[in-house]
């Protein structure tokens, strides 16, 4: 036991030293001196890129923070190691161009990530998507609203004890959050899964948005596809197939298409927007997946996947996951074919058919696309 304790002490110290370098300690001291945070009580999570701590709020905190008695403090590691892997997210982010790519200074790079998380949390809030409120950012230290009960943090969706009969509602809530995040916040989470969703006060809260990208990031659609797969797979798996999910392809339509059902943008933005979206979702869920058969017939080579009852759906999903989805009009590699599909009413074969705002900006970059207005998918 003595030995164990020694090892534990040693690892505690190692963890602390890794995150809390001298400069970070100064930043924390500053937050204490400014009467924002009080003492840290415990570490909630140690991750590759950041640690998250629970801190009590300073008793002398400003009036604007009276409502908070505690905070979650996320401290991004200043070691450069793990941040390299995130470059793919940053490249193509016009908000942060230069700041990141030109920087050879790891501290500065990490600060940009922390700032991204702060800004994205604010965007969630503005777009009406549940997440922790961002309170304060100083260098690599982000202070946010603590989601928990007393001083114990709310569980991740993965670990949350949730009654089976609540799952369908939570699934609907999450799909609507994804739609709002895309349509209102103009962001793609890019690391969405049961690990980055907290179950707090019977609702789902989105966290960990430092890698989230603009909806027009060159890889936004790839990230979106993975997010969608994670969510759909998780709810199906967790419920043992009991929760009726939309499947990848139809989730894509529900999240990314400009409008769903007969709702106008104003309907969605309105006070009972969530209720209206839930209604649309329920209608979609009640509809069988018959239209997917067309795709199955077009790809007999994928039939080996199609063993179970819902084989058509599975094949459709496989096609969807491997389909090329253009990010802007310049990438619509065969506009004539696509227009022909639309004319024939084969909307479903165009994965981007419901997106009218494909970025026009890049059209001059590659091959000519004539008559852009007319090629704009979905405006038929
Ligand atoms: P990482 O980059 O390490 O994954 P996250 O932002 O996902 O960072 O946070 C790690 C963990 O810390 C989460 O899984 C969650 O358990 C906890 N956590 C993060 N933010 C909060 C918060 N605002 N309130 C309570 N717990 C949080
Ligand atoms: Mg995380």
| Domains, in order of start, for the chain | 14-153 (3.30.200.20), 164-287 (1.10.510.10), 325-380 (no CATH)
- Whether 191 is a known active-site residue: answer yes
Give the mean model confidence (pLDDT) for residues 254-261: 94
| Surface-to-core class of residue 289, CB atoms within 10 Å of its CB (0-12 exposed, 13-18 middle, 19+ buried) | middle
Please provide the average confidence, as pLDDT, over all residues in the chain.
Answer: 82
Which residue's CA is the closest to the ligand 1 atom numbered 18? 52
Which amino acids bring their CB within 6 angstroms of ligand 1?
44-45, 47, 49-50, 52, 72, 74, 132, 144-148, 153-154, 156, 196, 207-208
Q: How far apart are CA 39 and CA 32, in angstroms?
A: 8
162-187 burial, b at 16+ Cβ within 10 Å, e below that, comes to: beeeeebebbbbbbbbbbbbbbbbeb
Residue 319 is predicted with a pLDDT of 83
Which residue's CA is the closest to the ligand 1 atom numbered 3? 47
End-to-end CA gap in the chain: 73
Q: How far is the CA of 24 from the centre of ligand 2 (A)?
A: 21
Which has more confidence, 378 or 197?
Answer: 197
The answer to whether residues 294 and 348 touch, using CB atoms and an 8 Å cutoff, is: yes
Q: Which one of the listed residues 9, 35, 191, 348 is annotated catalytic? A: 191
Residue 312 is predicted with a pLDDT of 67
Which residues are CB-contacts of 152 (< 8 A; sequence separation ≥ 6)?
A: none
Over the stretch 42-92, which tens digit does the pLDDT of each residue have? 999 998 889 999 999 999 999 999 999 999 999 998 875 555 566 667 666
Q: How far apart are CA 12 and CA 8, in angstroms?
A: 6
29-33, 281-285, 361-365: segment of lowest average pLDDT: 361-365
Q: How far is the CA of 277 from the centre of ligand 2 (A)?
A: 28
DSSP-assigned letters across all residues of 157-174: TTT----GGGHHHHHHHH
pLDDT(279) > 60: yes
Q: How far is the CA of 325 from the centre of ligand 2 (A)?
A: 27
Give the mean model confidence (pLDDT) for residues 290-301: 48
The answer to whether residues 106 and 80 touch, using CB atoms and an 8 Å cutoff, is: yes
The tokens for 5 are 């304790």
Over the stretch 139-162, which tens digit does the pLDDT of each residue have? 999 999 999 999 999 999 999 999
The tokens for 17 are 């030293």
Q: Select from 244, 243, 227, 238 the least CA-distant residue to 161.
A: 238
Q: Identify the H or E element spanning 255.
A: helix 248-256
What is the three-class DSSP state of 84? Answer: helix
The answer to whether residues 189 and 255 touch, using CB atoms and an 8 Å cutoff, is: no
The tokens for 295 are 């795709």
Model ipTM? 0.99
What is the three-class DSSP state of 128? Answer: coil
Q: Which one of the listed residues 165, 208, 232, 310 is annotated catalytic? A: 208
Over the stretch 331-351, which tens digit does the pLDDT of each residue have? 776 777 788 877 887 777 777
Which residue's CA is the closest to the ligand 1 atom numbered 7? 208
Beta strands in the chain (DSSP E): 37-46, 50-57, 70-76, 134-138, 141-145, 148-149, 152-153, 187-188, 197-200, 203-206, 213-214
In the numeric block, the tokens 């809260």 are attached to 205
């Amino acid at each position: 036991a003595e030995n164990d304790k020694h090892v534990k002490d040693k690892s505690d110290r190692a963890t602390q030293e890794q995150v809390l370098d001298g400069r970070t300690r100064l930043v924390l001291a500053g937050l204490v001196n400014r009467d924002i945070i009080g003492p840290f009580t415990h570490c909630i999570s140690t991750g590759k890129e950041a640690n998250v701590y629970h801190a009590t709020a300073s008793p002398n905190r400003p009036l604007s923070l009276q409502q908070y008695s505690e905070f979650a403090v996320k401290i991004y590691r200043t070691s450069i190691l793990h941040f390299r892997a995130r470059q793919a997210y940053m490249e193509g982010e016009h908000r942060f161009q230069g700041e990141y790519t030109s920087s050879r200074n790891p501290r500065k790079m990490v600060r940009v990530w922390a700032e991204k998380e702060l800004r994205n949390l604010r965007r969630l809030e503005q777009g009406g998507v549940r997440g922790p409120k961002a309170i304060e950012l100083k260098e690599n230290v982000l202070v946010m609203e603590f989601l928990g009960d007393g001083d114990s943090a709310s569980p991740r969706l993965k670990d949350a004890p949730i009654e089976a009969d609540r799952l369908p509602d939570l699934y609907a809530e999450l799909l609507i959050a994804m739609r709002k995040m895309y349509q209102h916040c103009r962001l793609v989470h890019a690391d969405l899964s049961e690990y980055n969703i907290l179950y707090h006060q019977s609702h789902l809260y989105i966290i960990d948005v430092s890698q989230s990208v603009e909806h027009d990031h060159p890889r936004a659609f790839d990230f979106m596809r993975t997010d969608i797969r994670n969510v759909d797979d998780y709810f199906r798996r967790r419920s043992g197939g009991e929760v009726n999910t939309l499947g990848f392809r139809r989730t894509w339509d529900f999240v990314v298409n400009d409008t769903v059902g007969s709702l106008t943008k104003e309907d969605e933005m309105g006070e009972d927007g969530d209720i209206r979206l839930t209604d649309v979702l329920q209608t979609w869920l009640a509809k069988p997946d018959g239209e997917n058969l067309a795709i199955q017939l077009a790809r007999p080579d994928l039939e080996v996947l199609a063993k179970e009852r819902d084989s058509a759906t599975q094949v459709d999903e496989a096609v969807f996951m491997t389909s090329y989805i253009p990010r802007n009009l310049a990438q619509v590699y065969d506009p004539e074919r696509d227009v022909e599909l639309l004319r024939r009413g084969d909307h479903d074969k165009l994965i981007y058919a419901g997106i009218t705002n494909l970025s026009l900006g890049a059209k001059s970059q590659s091959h000519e696309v004539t008559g852009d207005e007319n090629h704009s998918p979905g405006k038929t």
